[in-house]
Amino acid sequence: MTDTPTMSAADRAAMLVGGSLIVVGTVVLGLIETFVGNPSPVPVTNEAGDVIAAPTIPVEIRATLIGLGLLVWGCYGVYRLAAPSGGDATATGTAATAK
């Protein structure tokens, strides 16, 4: 099984931008949020309804980052579908008949 890494600019952009946005929105900001002292991305309340821990980073910002990352991946998929030759020499994920 061999692999020739001929990545197009679109491949690299989708991987880097899409992946970075999602990892930042989930893991990176999540780690910061956790160790700043807020255990949850949303306000935590006790049984009396008092807020005992509020997020430092607004949940809308993290959701927007993750949403943009998903959008980048989605746009890349549409691009591969629409571009001539699927954006590069070989389309991915297709079944072929072995010799």
Partner 1 sequence: MATTVDTRNVLGEGVSLELSGTWAGYWVAMLRLLTGWWFFHAGITKYANLWTSAEPFSATGWLTGATQGTVVAPITVWFGNNAAWFVNFIIPLGETLIGLALLLGVLVRFAAFWGAFLMGFFYLGNAGFSHGFVNGDLMGLLLFVTLIVLSAGRIMGLDRFIENWDLVQNHPRLQYLLG
Total residues belonging to the chain? 99
Chain centre distance of CA 77:
14
Beta bridge partners of 51: 45
List 13, 17, 26, 67, residue binding partner 1 (CB under 8 A)? 26
Does residue 21 bind partner 1 (CB under 8 A)? no
List 10, 13, 30, 57, residue binding partner 1 (CB under 8 A)? 30
Instruction: Kindly tell me which of 38 and 65 has the beta carbon lying closer to partner 1.
Output: 38
CB atoms within 10 A of CB 49: 6
In the shown chain, the binding pattern of residues 36 to 75 toward partner 1, with x for contact by CB under 8 A and - for none, equals -xxxx---x-x-----xx----------------------
**CA 43, CA 6: separation in Å to the nearest integer?**
46
**CA 29, CA 51: separation in Å to the nearest integer?**
21
DSSP, collapsed to helix, strand or coil, labels residue 8 as coil
Minimum distance of partner 1 from residue 60's CB (angstroms): 19
Which residues form the interface with partner 1 (CB under 8 A)?
1-7, 11, 15, 19, 22-23, 26-27, 30, 34, 37-40, 44, 46, 52-53, 88-90, 92-98
